[in-house]
Amino acid sequence: MSIINLLKVAMTAILSNKFRSFLSMLGIIIGVAAVIIMMAIGQGSKESVRAELSKMGTNLLTIRPGAERRGGVRQDPSAMQTLKPADYESILKEAILVTKVSPEVTSSGQVIHGANNTNSTVYGESPEYLDIKLWQLKDGICFNEEDVRKSAKVCVVGTTVVEELFGDKNYDAVGKTIRFKSIPFRIIGILKSKGYNNWGMDQDNVIIAPYTTVMKRISAQTYYNSIVVSAISEELSEKATEELTEILRRNHKIKEDAENDFTIRSQQEMMETMSSTMDTITVILVVAAAFSLLVAGIGIMNIMLVSVTERTKEIGLRMSVGARGIDIMSQFLIESILISLTGALLGIGLGYGGSWLARTVFMLPSDVPLWSVSVSFCVCAFIGIFFGYLPARKAARMDPIEALRYE
């Protein structure tokens, strides 16, 4: 029989049992929609993380103490104290591929103003910090080298801190004094709001103060928690990393074959790490959704087996008028492929709808990757063939005499 006639026969068979055909399609529809929505959200999140990270400056390098951690092995606490003021000095003096440097000392705790208090983190930085992170001030000014030298008790705060302590995030808090661990800080600048970042951290709940102030007056430490650096450009990040490594190894007197006691990570790497985490989550979700496709395939096989049994007499008749096994086989295979592909099309539509809903109603970043559409379509074609094969073979192998006699 020609392919057009086979399609006609399959269409007739599907349409003559509309509700049943729809039910067996439903599994495919839901499965495909689930796969597409999951992939859309996965892809969308990845894109938005990427955008978020590049907003922080793609030429950002972060130097952290301690060797690169592998497999969660706990490190010697002294390894976390390897970044010293001398390293900062050397970088300032020697590094040529680096434009801006800021040592970083952090301390978390309660911050108080009048009867209000909130938990926040004080970041001890150099005045170049805001430029490195591409952060901007909404109000006031940032501290300067003079403040650093004098360990001045001044700070720049994020809007969340203002809101928590003064009741209104638009409150003009410049000139007010807040207390952090009983040390008074005068607010000299307020940061523009940046909202939450992608991994749920409030980027406005920060207090930035001169690093000397934090080291001397709050945490009483002589080492840095990290050093953040701006490379000249994104392209030169790698070269800058090599340069910094060289300076720090020499400073730390690390032998030729010994491991670094610090780690330099570029924004690029951060992005890759985030992306790969996202990918893992996406893969898990998609695999879960794909299992529903498998179940849907079994549903189709079940319906096809019922359909073959129901139409035994028709099969017998077709055989008696000259249908070969292969004709009967293709008839039922095409029917199951048609069911699963129709389901796939409806599922793709539903997936697009669902992803649109996720984007507009639930504000989730979602973006249907085109390849996910073609992949689901191919997978469904495969499901149609794979799960239609057994029932089709059963039909093709029927004995025409028995089939004609079947009641």
Interface contacts to other proteins, rule CB under 8 A? 1-2, 5, 12, 16, 313-314, 316-327, 400-401, 404
Q: What is the smallest separation between the CB atom of 322 and other proteins, expressed in angstroms?
A: 2
Task: Specify whether the CB–CB gap between 103 and 212 falls below 8 A.
Answer: no
If the CB atoms of residues 82 and 312 are measured against other proteins, the closer one turns out to be 312
If the CB atoms of residues 16 and 255 are measured against other proteins, the closer one turns out to be 16
Task: Specify whether the CB–CB gap between 154 and 185 falls below 8 A.
Answer: yes
Contacts of 224 (CB under 8 A, 6+ apart): 65, 83, 84, 85, 87, 88, 103, 104, 105, 211
Tokens of 225: 């928690």
CA–CA distance, 163 with 299 (Å, rounded to integer):
56
Q: Which residues pair with 196 in a beta bridge?
A: 202
Q: What is the DSSP string of 282-300?
A: HHHHHHHHHHHHHHHHHHH
Q: What is the smallest separation between the CB atom of 392 and other proteins, expressed in angstroms?
A: 16
Q: What is the smallest separation between the CB atom of 366 and other proteins, expressed in angstroms?
A: 44
Question: Which among 39, 38, 52 is positioned nearest to 271, based on CA atoms?
Answer: 52
- The separation between the first and the last C-alpha atoms of the chain, rounded to the nearest angstrom, is 26
Question: Which among 80, 54, 44 is positioned nearest to 133, based on CA atoms?
Answer: 54
If the CB atoms of residues 201 and 401 are measured against other proteins, the closer one turns out to be 401
Contacts of 316 (CB under 8 A, 6+ apart): 398, 400, 401, 402, 403, 404, 405, 406
Q: What is the smallest separation between the CB atom of 332 and other proteins, expressed in angstroms?
A: 15
Q: What is the smallest separation between the CB atom of 360 and other proteins, expressed in angstroms?
A: 44
If the CB atoms of residues 85 and 400 are measured against other proteins, the closer one turns out to be 400
If the CB atoms of residues 325 and 369 are measured against other proteins, the closer one turns out to be 325
Helix axes 267-310, 325-360, angle to 10 degrees: 140
If the CB atoms of residues 175 and 322 are measured against other proteins, the closer one turns out to be 322
Q: Which residues pair with 110 in a beta bridge?
A: 119
Q: What is the smallest separation between the CB atom of 312 and other proteins, expressed in angstroms?
A: 12
If the CB atoms of residues 85 and 325 are measured against other proteins, the closer one turns out to be 325
DSSP 8-state assignment for residue 214:
I
Q: What is the smallest separation between the CB atom of 403 and other proteins, expressed in angstroms?
A: 10
Q: What is the smallest separation between the CB atom of 313 and other proteins, expressed in angstroms?
A: 7
CA–CA distance, 271 with 62 (Å, rounded to integer):
13
If the CB atoms of residues 157 and 328 are measured against other proteins, the closer one turns out to be 328
